[in-house]
Amino acid sequence: MNDPDPFVFFEEPSPTAIEVPVLKVFDGDGFLTKIALCHLTDNPKDDTEVEAAIRLGFIDAPELEQRGGCEVRKFLTALIGGRKVWIDILTKMDTGKSVDRYGRVVAVAYLGDRYPASMFSNPSLYLTRNIEIEMLLNGWAWVLERYGPDETYFEALEVARKNKRGIWAWEDNVHPWTFKGQKYNDRRSLKKKSKTAEKCPTDGCVGSLVKRSGKFGVFYGCSNYPNCRYSRAI
């Protein structure tokens, strides 16, 4: 799949945004930064810097294990990796705090650019690029509708879909939350099976009995083979 020429989206900077460095990009919607505790706590005088994971607030990108997941991380890394960005910290609806249930700071991220007088009437004009909108415009994310983002988010998503940009060059894309739900159900199913499996009767063995095939047919053998060679005919 060929990457499109990146579209950018400009808007006026948020008055509450703070500037932070991008230390590492985790995936298509998260990165590591350093931030003063005063921005995360009720103590406005605590300027101690700590590392914090930032989770973009209104978009959801493919998981790394999904189709397109690695490409999404590469795109975001090329966009903000090693740079400084502005973040506007949000209040998470389900926690009532600025962090989600995984301890990540939820925020909208921006890149800032200053433009010369030859382009605009105001020589000191400072515009910001909404990273979430650019991820959507270039076809690398879904909109998290339940959090009520601006209509611009949905317009950017529609542009990417219409032009088959990014992941929309493929058919039958699966939402990241659906993908994560399937993985969770698979883990529960395996855990349930392991609990119901018959334990190996050999003293001191922690294995369970599983069906195996040999030259004399199907039999039950220990899952801890070859450390345990217990077997039983079916």
- Convert the pLDDT of each residue in 53-100 to its tens digit: 999 999 999 999 999 999 999 999 999 999 999 999 988 666 667 788
**Residue 146 belongs to some domain of the structure:** yes
CA distance 100 to 92: 6
Q: Which amino acid is at 140?
A: W
Which tokens hold the place of 185? 């159900």
Do both 175 and 225 map to the same domain?
Answer: no
Do both 71 and 102 map to the same domain?
Answer: yes
Do both 87 and 158 map to the same domain?
Answer: yes
User: What pLDDT shows up at residue 185?
Assistant: 74
Statement: residue 3 has pLDDT above 50: no
Residue 164 pLDDT level (bands cut at 50, 70, 90): very high
User: What pLDDT shows up at residue 226?
Assistant: 81
Statement: residue 161 has pLDDT above 90: yes
Do both 101 and 127 map to the same domain?
Answer: yes
For 43-47, 104-108, 182-186, 207-211, which range has the lowest pLDDT when averaged over its residues?
Answer: 182-186
Do both 100 and 205 map to the same domain?
Answer: no
Do both 14 and 74 map to the same domain?
Answer: yes
Do both 121 and 204 map to the same domain?
Answer: no
**Residue 188 belongs to some domain of the structure:** no
CA 158 to chain centroid, in Å, comes to: 21
What's the start-to-end Cα distance of the chain, in Å? Answer: 51
Q: How many domains does the chain fold into?
A: 2
Which tokens hold the place of 153? 């988010």
Q: Where in the sequence is the domain holding 203, given as residue range(s)?
A: 197-233
**Residue 191 belongs to some domain of the structure:** no
User: What pLDDT shows up at residue 16?
Assistant: 80
- The mean per-residue pLDDT over the stretch 205-229 comes to 86
CA distance 59 to 62: 10
Do both 85 and 158 map to the same domain?
Answer: yes
Do both 104 and 218 map to the same domain?
Answer: no
Do both 227 and 121 map to the same domain?
Answer: no
CB neighbours (10 Å) of residue 30? Answer: 18
Judge whether 111 and 79 are in contact, CB under 8 Å: yes
Do both 28 and 108 map to the same domain?
Answer: yes
Judge whether 57 and 110 are in contact, CB under 8 Å: no
Q: What is the mean pLDDT of the chain?
A: 85
User: What pLDDT shows up at residue 213?
Assistant: 84
Do both 216 and 170 map to the same domain?
Answer: no
CA distance 153 to 209: 53
Judge whether 197 and 207 are in contact, CB under 8 Å: no
CATH code of 155's domain: 2.40.50.90
**Residue 221 belongs to some domain of the structure:** yes
